[in-house]
Structure 1
């Protein structure tokens, strides 16, 4: 997760974008470093100081143990970890690593995943984030990454770097007694079954299941082996105490694993000796509606559990309507989640699928030059092509608005009403919606 404090910019004016053509990247020039602060790659000797700066930026204890340094050093040195150093002391942190992002239709594109972004309070407003971000995105473009991704701790920061919120997440809290479930009925009540398993089983079954999910879920990202180790307790993090969850697996009638849930329960009782336990879902993935329904009903039907916290779910999740009384599921959080910055317009628009047919000319403003230009998209269910063009634009927009349209979550008509997209041809926003929007919203199940 990333954080800092910056403002976003408004939609470029017609004058600023009228001359936009696909002339290729125009990376920003190097910033002045007369302040003596050095931005560079983090070496092994820097890791302890870098972790201290990271913890300070996120308002956690700045004390760093030797075990934490030993645990994190190989992980950080294997990724693209940057730091800003003032007279030898780390005052800003930044890390990126390779990722795969699923687009509409199930294809994946290479992404530059950004995390661990902080600037120490004593060094804000000195352009340190801009220096680190510019360096990282330029390298990502050079590598051939199609997009960059991040999960923003604060909303107003990353629009100025071309990122836009491309997926959202919602968390529900379920009042189980009110939900109207018949908790006497077996779960599941069809041909499948649910088994409680341990971490070894999850590490064996989970990766294959997740691969099936992310091939059909726009917005999903890959989960490396370390993810499964950390989230099953095989690797214990010094800075994050481990509580072993319950792991529930749903198997279809033929024995195929179609769903997996991990959840923890507290130990709460009333003075009248009545259990009022809360089950908190850490992770729930399913590749069939039957598995999704069975796993939610399993958690909600567990004896002593009177409240269920869903964890971060897709905003159009099936969960509320799975309950006889959907009002028992109250939204406790609804917020932006995965932010995407498009670096290669052609590869991004050609990678996804389209349910309908049409042509759209987009004029994209990007101060960095990486996505700047006028692009002609010709799309149909059979495929798509995107090419530079000098034809008149149908829509004018900033690159930060392109990502949520590209991943299918946002409406061009709504963005036009907000002044973030400008129609250059009447009805173009409706054409864009018909081409780009999806029947189900994209969702990223993971934080990174």
Structure 2
């Protein structure tokens, strides 16, 4: 079995070999100069690599230092990324060693209380305490059927195309205004906006280049933005049958949001809309005269891990008061395994170890799923992931862990 001590950070000189090995496992070709120079977002001191005896890179991993919104607060979060293991080193405990090394170092160094990742396969990360905490809606509909309800207010602002730099400036202001209210949303500094605007032709999947639009009020203030691309198609009869692939739509007002969507749904030569990463309960459905015109096939989005249960539970806010003892089962991180006294309310929270009798028993994956408010503890109880000890504890805890805004993560990493 692999010893976590066998893993080490990669150097800048080793980046080409490291990145090529990573892309090979993912089945991707090199894109641009990604394999030739270290990307601005990379933090090599937080990377991990395993080298085979012949000098090949057998495993890769890394962490981005991020800030994520949780209910009522913004919390440091370790964005786990680049995780691969070569087929030559499978079933040797390499991935387990990597996960253990990352989580142990975060705990011992009092680093981020949360870790998050995007899972390439749904069966991998649960055994390390991660759980899906947001959903992507995988929305689809026929634009012909997506008329708005009578009386939908489109406001007095305008929606117009923008060049990438103008779009970035306006979108950054809107994102910053909105991100603190939506759990699961990450901050974006200049490096992450630069990454968000990258649009290599190899990654377009047969669609056109990304297009950008801004919603602007009469006074010139940008209050919304959208990014999309169009996949052009013609039927054998010569009829337009294109698809608009919506990547992001956000606005600071309901009229602005409605106006952006009306623009996207009214594009010429388009018959279908797809929004793979929109929230599963996107407000768009409630703008439509026929709610059935929009179909959703929800998929998991961001996966979350409570690195330190006490610090994580104390960091978020609770819309309803909670005062109870949680017995947390955590096989992978023994420092979390035990009983925790949680007191929380809308203004703050306290959480510390205790020897008191538990009100609830919950595994750490279920706690991670419920942490952002997107999964009810009542649902998890029905699945056998939560055990109620004190009568009514599930109802109280499910109410306290809820949040009026569904969690959403538009940033893959």
Q: TM-score, normalised by structure 1?
A: 0.84
Alpha carbons 1:316, 1:440 under 8 Å: kept: no
For 1:45, which of 3, 13, 17 is the aligned residue?
13
Give the aligned partner of residue 360 of structure 1.
324
Could you say if the C-alpha distance between residues 229 and 79 of structure 1 is closer, same or farther in structure 2, counting changes exceeding 3 Å?
Answer: farther
Secondary structure of 1:280's aligned partner: strand
CA deviation profile, 1:19-39 (whole Å, cap 9, x unmatched): xxxxxxxxxxxx6659xx942
1:321 Cα offset (Å): 2.4
Point out the more displaced range, 65-74 or 112-121. Answer: 65-74
Q: How far apart, CA to CA, are the structure 1 residues paired with 2:274 and 2:115?
A: 31
Give the aligned partner of residue 159 of structure 1.
126
Q: How far apart, CA to CA, are the structure 2 residues paired with 1:85 and 1:358?
A: 48
The structure with higher relative contact order (CA 8 Å, sep 6+) is 1
Q: How far apart, CA to CA, are the structure 1 residues paired with 2:255 and 2:115?
A: 34
Unaligned runs of 5+ in 1: 1-30
Unaligned runs of 5+ in 2: none
For 1:148, which of 109, 115, 131 is the aligned residue?
115
Secondary structure of 2:37's aligned partner: helix
Secondary structure of 1:231's aligned partner: helix
Give the aligned partner of residue 231 of structure 2.
266
Give the aligned partner of residue 204 of structure 1.
169
1:303 lines up with 2:271 in the alignment: no
Give the aligned partner of residue 135 of structure 2.
168
Alpha carbons 2:226, 2:249 under 8 Å: kept: yes
1:40 Cα offset (Å): 1.5
**Within 5 A, what are the aligned runs for 1:29-68?**
33=3, 38-61=6-29, 67-68=33-34
1:410 Cα offset (Å): 1.6
**Within 5 A, what are the aligned runs for 1:270-285?**
270-285=235-250
Could you say if the C-alpha distance between residues 244 and 135 of structure 1 is closer, same or farther in structure 2, counting changes exceeding 3 Å?
Answer: same
Secondary structure of 2:248's aligned partner: strand
Point out the more displaced range, 72-81 or 245-254. Answer: 72-81
1:275 Cα offset (Å): 1.9
1:250 Cα offset (Å): 1.0
**Within 5 A, what are the aligned runs for 1:211-360?**
211-233=176-198, 240=203, 244-331=209-296, 333-360=297-324
Q: How far apart, CA to CA, are the structure 2 residues paired with 1:283 and 1:398?
A: 34
CA deviation profile, 1:327-365 (whole Å, cap 9, x unmatched): 22222x411111111122233222222222231210112
1:216 Cα offset (Å): 0.7
1:122 Cα offset (Å): 2.2
Q: How far apart, CA to CA, are the structure 2 residues paired with 1:361 and 1:290?
A: 44
1:127 Cα offset (Å): 0.6
1:188 Cα offset (Å): 7.5
Alpha carbons 1:43, 1:77 under 8 Å: kept: no
Q: How far apart, CA to CA, are the structure 1 residues paired with 2:231 and 2:353?
A: 57
Alpha-carbon RMSD: 2.5
Q: How far apart, CA to CA, are the structure 1 residues paired with 2:377 and 2:236?
A: 55
Q: How far apart, CA to CA, are the structure 1 residues paired with 2:95 and 2:390?
A: 38
**Within 5 A, what are the aligned runs for 1:48-197?**
48-61=16-29, 67-72=33-38, 75-76=41-42, 78=44, 80-87=46-53, 88-105=55-72, 107-141=73-107, 142-180=109-147, 189-197=154-162
CA deviation profile, 1:149-203 (whole Å, cap 9, x unmatched): 1011111111111112111111111201122359xx9x98422211211111022
Could you say if the C-alpha distance between residues 340 and 385 of structure 1 is closer, same or farther in structure 2, counting changes exceeding 3 Å?
Answer: same
Give the aligned partner of residue 13 of structure 1.
none
1:143 Cα offset (Å): 4.1
1:282 Cα offset (Å): 1.9
Q: How far apart, CA to CA, are the structure 1 residues paired with 2:231 and 2:218?
A: 32
Could you say if the C-alpha distance between residues 140 and 245 of structure 1 is closer, same or farther in structure 2, counting changes exceeding 3 Å?
Answer: same
Alpha carbons 1:79, 1:97 under 8 Å: kept: no
Alpha carbons 1:114, 1:150 under 8 Å: kept: yes
1:240 Cα offset (Å): 4.4
Runs in 1 of length 4+ with deviation above 3 angstroms?
31-34, 64-68, 71-79, 236-244, 252-255
1:77 Cα offset (Å): 5.1
Give the aligned partner of residue 373 of structure 1.
338
Give the aligned partner of residue 404 of structure 1.
369
Could you say if the C-alpha distance between residues 33 and 191 of structure 1 is closer, same or farther in structure 2, counting changes exceeding 3 Å?
Answer: closer
